[in-house]
Every structure is written in C-alpha cells, then in structure tokens.
Amino acid sequence: MFNRIFQLILTHPLTRHVDLDSPETTVLRSRIIQEKPFLKQFYHECCLSIAESLPAKIDGPVLELGSGAGFLKQYIPNLLTSEILKMPEMDIILDGTCLPFSTNCLKGIVMINVFHHIANIANFLSDATKCIKPGGVIIMIEPWSTPWSRFVYCHLHHEPFEPEVEGWKFPAGGPLSQANSALPWIVFERDQMKFEKKFFDLQVKEIMLNYPFCYFLSGGVSLRSLIPGCMYKVIRKIEKLAQPWMNSLAMFAKIVIERKMAARDDLPQK
C-alpha cells in the first residue's frame, strides 16, 4: 500500500502510462536526465568515473551497451554507442547476449544500469571475453545489494530485485521491463567462486560501493526529484563521510573487470 501511494505521489509526469520497452521511452528518459539538474550531475560523475578507469595503454574502440538515454560519448572519444532498440544516432543495434565483434578488437565495454537487464549473463561474459583485448576491461555502474538498497529496490523501485534466485538468467521479454537489479551482486559477490571458475580469463579488479542517497533523492528517471540540483555537492560530501558504512548503505557499485594479459585460447563456452 505504501509503495503504491509513494509511486502515485512522486511519479514523474512525463513517465505516467509509458511503455518501458518503447524506443520513445528511452528518448524521454534522456530528456528527463537533461532537465533534472541533480540527476544530471549524478550521471556526469558516473561517466567521468568510467572514463577515468579505462586502461591508457590499450588501444582500440570502446563499446557502450545501452547508450540511448545517456551521454557517455561526451567523455570517451570514439565511443561506439549501441542499443537493443532501434533508435536514432546509435552506431549499432545489438543484443548484449550476442556481440557481433571479432576476437581481440575492443579496448573495453562500458555500461550504466544495463548489466542487470541482460537476460543471459553467461552468454554476454563469454562473448565479451573474446571481443576484448588482453588488458582490456568491462566497466559498469550497477545496483548493488546492501540492507539499505534492498529496502529501496524492493519497495520504492519499479524493477524486480531478486537476490535469492539461483541462476544468472531470467525469462526473455521486454528489453527494459525484464530485469533483476540484484544480478550484479549475485554474479560478482554471491557467486564469486562460480564466476572465477567459469570465466578464468577475467578478473574483478575493483568493486567500489557508492551512492547511498543521491540517486534515491534525484528520483531517477521515473520519479520527481526530491531535492534541488544545487544540493548535489552537499549530498556527495555527506556520502563520502559515510564511506566506512558503505557495505550497509550503498545503492550502487562501480565494477571493473579486466581480461587477463596472459590470455588462454580455450575460452569458456556459452
């Protein structure tokens, strides 16, 4: 009941009664990000963090998955933008479970809030291992599971959050409406040993927990902002003071995965 009242009061007017799986909705979300100063600053910080984590000594193009609503291309020169939906101004239309690239051709694959929408993570990681050069990276900023985030994602967010599911798949369906926001935590934390055994050419270099309050206060792309844009730096200072408690408070994680330099030829199979 509380969840429904919260949604009715705070739902952004532009997102009422929209089809999540329509390309027009992704375009609309891009507009919302630009028109919400607090949210735009959050995405600016995410983009900058990803760009700074790319390896300087590896050449080649960088692929972004789920580029439609974002502006990461402003931060990474020669970024290949992609979407699963047919949208204008995308470099390529693709499905993350079947990457159409040759072996060892990419410097990296980057994404913001996309990994948990990929219906078959094993397929994605297998293809990514082949496409990325040794020393190249997969970088993502994704929801994470903590006591605080579980409350928010389970009660105040429209996407499924299911940390108890056994596998890394969910049924095929709408590219944006189908998701499991707990999936990054499941793969890289709960099932860490399974990941390391199955994808021996990949290693997790960094999991940085962050953003306990700012995305929630921004309202994201679906809700009204709860705070003016001028307060962003103040909230970020408070979040940095809360860093010792991030294991309990964080809502997001930046995850950096590197393909090992001593790459093996017997890559994992789908």
Sheet holding 132-143, edge to edge: 92-93, 79-83, 62-64, 106-112, 132-143, 252-259, 202-210
Rounded Cα distance between 197 and 5, Å, is: 45
Q: For position 83, what pLDDT does the model report?
A: 94
Q: For position 269, what pLDDT does the model report?
A: 47
* Domain of residue 131, residue span: 2-259
Type of residue found at 141? I
Structural domains of the chain, count: 1
> Is residue 230 included in any domain, yes or no?
yes
Q: For position 9, what pLDDT does the model report?
A: 57
Cβ atoms 134, 235 nearer than 8 A: no
Q: For position 262, what pLDDT does the model report?
A: 67
**In 10 A of CB 101, how many CB atoms?**
18
Rounded Cα distance between 43 and 63, Å, is: 18
> Is residue 269 included in any domain, yes or no?
no
Q: For position 74, what pLDDT does the model report?
A: 95
**Successive 10-residue mean pLDDT values, the chain, 270 residues:** 55 68 85 94 97 96 94 94 90 94 97 96 97 97 98 88 94 82 98 97 97 94 89 97 96 98 54
- In this structure, what CATH number is given to the domain that contains residue 235? 3.40.50.150
> Is residue 64 included in any domain, yes or no?
yes
Q: For position 222, what pLDDT does the model report?
A: 81
Q: For position 117, what pLDDT does the model report?
A: 95
pTM for the whole structure: 0.91
Q: Please choose, from the candidates 79, 84, 40, the residue with its C-alpha nearest in 3D space to the C-alpha of residue 60.
A: 79
Q: For position 43, what pLDDT does the model report?
A: 96
